[in-house]
Structure 1
Amino acid sequence: MSRDIDYGKLMHAAMRGLIKTVLADVARDGLPGAHHFFITFDTGAPGVEIADWLADRYPDEMTIVMQHWFENLDVGDDGFSITLNFGDSPEPLYVPYDAIKTFVDPSVEFGLRLESTSDEDDLEDELDALPELDDDEEDLPPQRDAEVVSLDKFRK
């Protein structure tokens, strides 16, 4: 039985778990200090719930900011709901964790970029296209000795 470790899937699950934990802490205790979040998500992803006018305005992706005013932050197992202010109009949103593309906290220069499933498929295709390596040294290209270059000739 041959089975591979799906590192990409495991990493995405860990990153989404991190986002869930951070949002749960904020839901419970509020935003600490200068922390604030920019969350970009795929508006067409399954499970996303946004007002029709927002979906029309942002047909592909949308970035929300959690900073000065937000309410009703509810963090669930599969996503979070929140009410944000758009031009003095409160709008409820629901964002599944799987729809999140980026999560950034600029106050501490922290950011995550989550690849979409199609990006993961492209990466898998690229990895599959790489030549198989054997342990047989005949198949390996000849190794060259390292070359030391003096930078003195480039100095003025």
Structure 2
Amino acid sequence: MAREIDYGNLMHDAMRGLIRKVLDDVAENGLPGAHHFFISFDTRHPGVKLADWLAERYPKDMTIVLQHWFEDLEVDDDGFSVTLNFGDSPERLHVPFDAIRTFVDPSVEFGLRFEATEDELDEEGDAQVEPDEAEEAPASHADAEIVPLDKFRK
């Protein structure tokens, strides 16, 4: 079998590296201007850590918002940890970068979506992980456009 360059995985690694750099900067300097993020992730992914009641409420996926109230954002090579407020109940969670499904900054209409791999497809061919919009997410999320990379191919 001939060796091939796996451009899809290379692109996903590069996009996750971009997210890491952005979150590193926010951890160091705070959110600039009107920037804020909607981050959806697979709650079943190995390495995701969240309170049991959150895992029960979001058994497949979850969208978090980093905007007005978040604390102790820490970023490492594998993912990020942050404390968020869920109905006046602060909860710490950890999200590996590989668990991220979408990353959106609606303030500048920027978004990334990670396509499901073959392992994540069920027998019907549908992705098992479809991002749910968390109740904490403001309506402006719907206004942001997630641009697939195919849009830029010739």
Bucket of the pairwise TM-score, normalised by the shorter protein: 0.7 to 0.9
Runs of 4+ in 1 over 6 A off after TM superposition: 119-122
3-state SS of paired residue (1:46) = coil
Distance in 1, matches of 2:42 and 2:118, equals 13
Q: Is the 8 A contact 1:47 1:96 kept in 2?
A: yes
- The aligned residue for residue 20 of structure 2 is 20
Unpaired runs of 5+ in structure 2? Answer: 123-154
Amino acid at match of 2:29: D
1:55-75: per-residue Cα shift (whole Å, max 9, x none)? Answer: 000001000000001011000
1:79 — aligned with what?
Answer: 79
- Alignment partner, residue 112 of structure 1: 112
Residues 10 and 41 of structure 1: CA distance in aligned 2, closer, same or farther (over 3 Å): same
SS in 1 for 2:44: coil
Deviations 1:70-122 (A, max 9, x none): 01100000000000000001000000000000000000000000113237879
The CA distance in 2 between the partners of 1:111 and 1:22, in whole Å, is 13
- Aligned residues of 1:70 and 1:85 also touching (Cα < 8 A): yes
Alpha-carbon distance in 2 for matches of 1:56, 1:88: 18
> Using the alignment, how far apart are the partners of 1:56 and 1:37 within structure 2?
23
**Rg (Cα) greater in structure:** 1
Q: Number of matched residues?
A: 123
- Aligned-partner residue type, residue 78 of structure 1: D
TM-score computed with the length of structure 1 as normaliser: 0.75
Q: Which residue of 1 aligns with 2:151?
A: none
Equivalent residue number for residue 95 of structure 1:
95
What's the secondary structure of 1:39's corresponding residue? Answer: strand
> d(CA) in 1 for partners of 2:23 and 2:13?
15
The 1:45/1:120 distance shift into structure 2, 3 A limit, reads: closer
RMSD between superposed Cα atoms in Å: 1.8
Identity over the aligned pairs, expressed in percent? 75
Q: How does 1:1-156 map to 2 (within 5 A)?
A: 2-118=2-118
